[in-house]
Structures are given as C-alpha cells and as structure tokens.
Structure 1
C-alpha cells in the first residue's frame, strides 16, 4: 500500500509538470479580436475568464487554431454591426467571451457572444441548397440538430468570401481537431441573444481511466469519461425499431452497437446474458454490446503509429500488465 501511494504521488507530480495554464494560448487573442473588429467596423469587447486553468502541454499546442476559428466566427457572424445592435435595443459594443474552467476530469473552454444567434432555418436552407441534406430530412430535424450542421465539412453561411470567412473550412476543422484530442465540441444558440460554443477536453492525454471489456478472445478499453453505466440484459430485451436494434433503459430508447459486427468478428454463440456498456458523446447515447466486462484500470495511451492512421474506430492502444495489447475504442466515431 505504501509503495502504491508513493507511485501514485510520483505519477501526480509528473502529470503536474506537464500542465500549462491556458493563458499561454489565450494571451494572443485580445489583439486578434481588436484587429478583426477594426476590419469589420464593429465594436467588440473580449472578456477572458479562467486563464489560470491548466491543461496538458500536448493539448495546449493543438488548441490555439480551433479557438481562433470560433472567435473569428463570433466576431464575423455573431456580433452585429453597431447600428443594427442599436435598433435591436442592444448596446453598440458587442461582448465576446472566452472562458475556461474545470469540470471533473475535463476542461471546458467556451466561446460566447451576445450577437444575432444562429438561425436554424437559414442553416437548413443552406444545407439543402448545397445538397448536404434533403428537404425531408430538414423537416424532421429539430433546431439543435440543425444548428450542429455548421460543423459539417464544406459548410459555410457567408454570402461572400472574405479574409475572415466564407471558405467553408473552419468549423469542420475545429470539430476534427477537438475530436483528435479526445474532446467534444457543441453549440447552444438563441436568436438575438447570442451563441455559446463549448469545447470539452480531457485534462491529460497520457493516462486515462478505462473500462476493459472482452469481445470473444480480444480485450478492448473504453475510456471511463465516455461511459454512463454498464448493465447486463437478457437477449429478448433488445428490440428492433426502424431496422435498428435498441434497448429501453429507464424510459430512454438507446440504440445499440454490436462490437462483433463493427469489428467483423465471426459470431460464435449466443450467451444467456448480454453485457451492454452505455456510452455518450455530448447528448447522444448508445449501448455497446460486449461479451464480458473485465474491470476498471488506469492505462497509458500509446499511439497506433503511421501505419494505422486510417483506423477511425480506435484512438490508440495500451500495453496491459501481462504484456497483452488492448486497443482503445474511440466512442465518438463509433456513434457517428
């Protein structure tokens, strides 16, 4: 136990050494916002909160570009011209916020503005015009899902191309960068009240808590941060709705992902009970069906190397105590 305590302390100290305050990234944005405001003839005030929040050095290096894109968007698309703001009864000066804070084992970075908000109908029409969705799909979409289309590759709402926006690259780059860091990005918006872009990132990318599961003879790791709960169900509890298998958990319908099918492992036999790991990314949930649960472990993430860069389903691998290799599942891409 003493040895265990010492090694845990040592690990915590080493982890702290890797931590860098986000102020090293945030410091370069006030000037950028001032320049953009001047270029667009807008009055914008940038407030920064929580710049002492610390993040892993590898995350800090990658996070600058996504935040820059989001800030540019807030200044260009979000905050209106001073005269327009006055007509709406708002102060002439627009407020853009950059906020960082801890939430459990994650750091949340938010880019907020008190601008025009994102019009879901405008987004739908633009997406239909570009052939990204059909009219039928648009009619079924609720506003929150419609607004998330801004993260789709090649999507842009700008009517003309400028130095600041309109190229259709930006939001999809933000999303892929954040997801590459095992993070998640989402947006909340209200018309004429403004928008909040929320980036959620893991504190560290080196060591994570994970649940080890078995699919036939192979072991896989699922990051604990993505797991809601684990349940075991009888095979007859799996229902089919619109050709998709689902389970009902506490009144909620959750689609299930069969690992055997995803990994194309030959099916051996049906067991009497099925284990389901309920995972989430943002608001979306899914149940991953596995053969058995092994338990929780702290694992060190190793990259898969350049040979396996195309493998979307796995975010890395780890070498277990007995020398075996377990692949780490990338929950976000499995649920797409």
Structure 2
C-alpha cells in the first residue's frame, strides 16, 4: 500500500473532500489509482492507495528516450480507457503527464494524482482556472478561457508525442512567454519518419479547437492507431552485437543504451510471467557490459542474461 499525506488547512477542506470523492469513483476502473481507505487527524488527511511498484512512464521515457510503437499503443489504449471512464463520470483530470502515469507489477498503467481533478464538468458546464503542469496545458487553459474534458485529450497528445519521440511537440525552454506562444499559436512540430497513424492521432489531439479533438468529436478508440491491434510485430533493428532471443508473455519495452537497442520485459515491474497479458512477443537482449549494467537493477534479469550467454552458442538460436 501507499499513503498520501495532505496537510489540512481551512482553505483546502473542499479540495480534500473532492479528491476522496473522485478516488472512490475511480475504484471501478482498472486503469485509475485505487483508494483503499481514508483517515484524518486534526492536522492531516491520509489516503491509503494501492502501491504501484513499476515506476512512472516518465522514468521509462528518460531511460529509453522513446518507446517502441507497440508499447505506445498498449499504454495509449489503457490511458484512453481511464480517461473515458473519468469523463463518463463528468470528471476532468487536468494534470495528465508521464509523471502521473504509473505502472503496476504486471506492466499495466494507472493514472494517479487526482488532486487537481474536478467533477461535475461537461461541455455545457465548463470550468476555468489555470491548473496543471504548464507544458501539458491546453491552449484554452493557458488563455484563461472556460474548458471541459477536452483538455485531457490535449494532454494525452503531448504524452503520446513524448513516448514516440522523447520530445515535446512545442518549444520548451526557460522562457514561459515563448512556451505560451508556441502552445497557443503555433502548430506542433513532429519529426519526419514517424508512424503515420500515431502522427495523425497526435496532430488531431493537439488541435486548437477543443471540440474537434478525438475523444470529444468522435470515439477515439476507432482511430486507426488504436483500432489496429497488430501487436505481434517485433519492430527489431539490426545490430552487430550478439543477441539471445526469448519469448515472454508481457508488454514489450525498448531500452536504448549508448545507441544500442535492447528489448526486455518492463524495466520496473520485472514480472516475466505476466498472467494478465495474453500477448506474446519476441524479445532481444543485447549481451554487452552496458546491458548487464542496466539489467543489474532488475532482480534476476542479469543472471538470466548471463546464464543464457553461457548456455547458448548460436546467437538467436532460441528464436527457432
């Protein structure tokens, strides 16, 4: 379990009650953080939630630079389900970002930190207020306009771009004025060579008109990037390094170390026998000092790599 501690003040009693109310509603969705219990003292409020041992999506992006297209599709589909559940309850998250997307022990996502979320929000009952993380805020939020659940779909577009490219689609620097201008006036800049389906989805999510974003205008689940569930491809790049291949029942994760591709199970969850995932993928782990150093943080994985190296004389023999 994990415990969130909030200092009680006269001006945040309503916020604490609202967060508890939203957390209770979120228990019915497998892709939102689950509240087990709540307690309060004279000075503090305590939320007891599930413990998510897989780390955050931000951690993965920083390690990998960018994720494999099938990983992005896997995580994006679960985020869409979580957001659609919230919006179906007339709740807007308002702070969707990789730091607030955690992984459980089996590699599935949980959207966390509902402290800034607001309930009772619809297209006809909008709210205002500049709330959230600056670089992930929708233009209407930065401009001080009224907004509704469409702001979460904008934030999802930024998250998808981070996963696919490791970069923000707009200028990000020390000048808030330049960031503000880029988000509110300019079009997103996506690098060439991106998968056409995800490029189209990101560009649609980052439309300045909130009413035209997928998830608002139409069912985002029917977008070709999410609807096309071809998760069987490996997407491997050629490498001169020696490789040993395993087939594991778990979501794939691409790791990049010194420009070398390493495919492994979810870095943070380390559960190589995920029973909740029916997808079957082929993984390649590059047996190099950098890979072993990185794998040393994963219980059992480094020894598995070393054992495979000693017992295998032909690279890729296990692929047959």
TM-score interval, normalised by the smaller of the two chains: under 0.3
Give TM-score, length-normalised by structure 1: 0.25
Q: TM-score, normalised by structure 2?
A: 0.26
Q: Which has the larger radius of gyration?
A: 1
Q: Which has the higher strand share?
A: 1
